[in-house]
Amino acid sequence: MEIQKRRESKSARTRRAILSSARRLFFERGYDGATVRQIAEAVPIDPSMIIRYFGSKEQLFADATVVDLRFQDFGPFPGDDIGRLLIEHFLDLWENEDGDLGLAILLRSSAHNEEARTKIREIFAQQVIPLISRIDPLDAERRAGMIVSQLFGLALCRYILELSPISAMPRDDIVQIFGPTIQHYAVGGTSTA
Amino acid sequence: MEIQKRRESKSARTRRAILSSARRLFFERGYDGATVRQIAEAVPIDPSMIIRYFGSKEQLFADATVVDLRFQDFGPFPGDDIGRLLIEHFLDLWENEDGDLGLAILLRSSAHNEEARTKIREIFAQQVIPLISRIDPLDAERRAGMIVSQLFGLALCRYILELSPISAMPRDDIVQIFGPTIQHYAVGGTSTA
DNA sequence: CTTAAAAGTCAACATGTGTTGACTTCACCT
DNA sequence: AGGTGAAGTCAACACATGTTGACTTTTAAG
């Protein structure tokens, strides 16, 4: 029993080490940019072990990008403060060092990786739309789409392009600027101010 | 004289053919995804000719992504209709078959290509900010940043991720939904509705 | 201590990349 | 018509990639 446990825990530890290294490098360089050799070197371990553990680079990527948006952390339903909550939650996904970076990796890889796109669509359908539906099920898909348009564009400018006014702005300013827009989209959002 | 002209026009024609093919493939697959061989095959021409004409793949990419946003087409200054105008103009950049696709290519390649990011920042500084400054020079950088956050996010969802509610929506709906937000950002945009 | 399996290393493979240089073909001016 | 330089082809290079199989080392039970 103990025997089995120890053996498992050894391999499980390197498995987690590989996953952690993979996530960091996929985050920094995307699917194509991060090579198996680089990931292995950062662990450090032989590149062939990565294949032994995960079967292929593609499978490693799939295992490294299991995304849970953790909307259940919102607890009792927010209601009219949803805009601020959503954007704070979204910023955490990128700025928390120990976050799993899953969504960030997918977004960075989405331009040239069909699997990343598919996963983002799944997350949208299975996690974002249900949340927005709780506010009002009418046209929830459209409103959810408007929200992620703004959030993804913000992430693109702030974290990927590093466009100076957006990337240099303190977090609180971002919340104050985009929170009301998200709120507006969340509750309907077809008319102007 | 004629001699020179004819010779130039021959090489100039294939040069343009290469550029056109390169733009299409860079647009579809990004910088890394589009190979010199693929671009050459689509012309069709030998891959080595591309190096002869442009020196390197990197230089070909640079030449293929000279972007002019053509804001001068706006003519007399729009003023309070700038939101609708901007988003229509932006949609044209992606949907016009004979547009140069420059910005679209840059955006698609930006995740893993520093040169693409640099060019986008230049376009932002040299073309977008000046336009927004014409409305009001106060905080023009910040307001321009907010606008491109929304526009780039829209492009990401509609054309790259193909996120179904946003990608399936008719063009006019997009204008009606996002136009007011852009307008709001353009004229100040810190307060809610 | 022995030993069998797990964990890890090493060198090589097949393939695809950008790029190069030697060669051939073509267009055009004298 | 013939020769000259441009335009284009061909095969190969050096290198990097994911992946594989043979091998060695470590681990822990008998």
End-to-end CA distance of chain B: 66
- In our burial notation (b when 16+ CB lie closer than 10 A, e otherwise), range A5-23 reads eeeeeeeeeebeebbbbbb
pLDDT band at A191 (very low <50, low <70, confident <90, very high): low
B59-101 pLDDT per residue, tens: 999 999 999 999 998 877 767 899 999 999 999 999 987 778 9
In angstroms, the separation between the Cα of residue B54 and the nearest Cα of chain A is: 24
H helix runs in chain A, sequence order: 2-33, 36-42, 47-54, 57-64, 82-95, 102-109, 114-123, 129-135, 140-155, 164-168, 171-186
B145-174 pLDDT per residue, tens: 999 999 999 999 999 999 999 999 999 999
Residue B5 has pLDDT above 80, yes or no: no
- Identify the pLDDT of residue B188: 84
Residue B4 has pLDDT above 60, yes or no: no
- Identify the pLDDT of residue B7: 43
- Identify the pLDDT of residue B2: 37
Q: List CB contacts of B75: < 8 A, sequence separation 6 or more.
A: none
Choose among A121, A120, A69, A123: nearest CA to A94.
A69
Instruction: Provide the residue ranges of all domains of chain B, joining segments of one domain with +.
Output: 2-64, 71-186
List the B122 CA – D10 C1' distance (angstroms): 41
- Identify the pLDDT of residue B83: 96
Q: Which nucleotides of C are covered by protein (CB under 7 A)?
A: 6-11, 16-22, 27-29
- Identify the pLDDT of residue A39: 98
pLDDT band at B8 (very low <50, low <70, confident <90, very high): low
In angstroms, the separation between the Cα of residue B3 and the nearest Cα of chain A is: 45
Instruction: Give, in words, the CATH class of A2-64.
Output: mainly alpha
Closest residue (CA to C1') to nucleotide D29 in the complex: A3
∠ CA A105-B114-B100 to the nearest 5 degrees?
A: 100
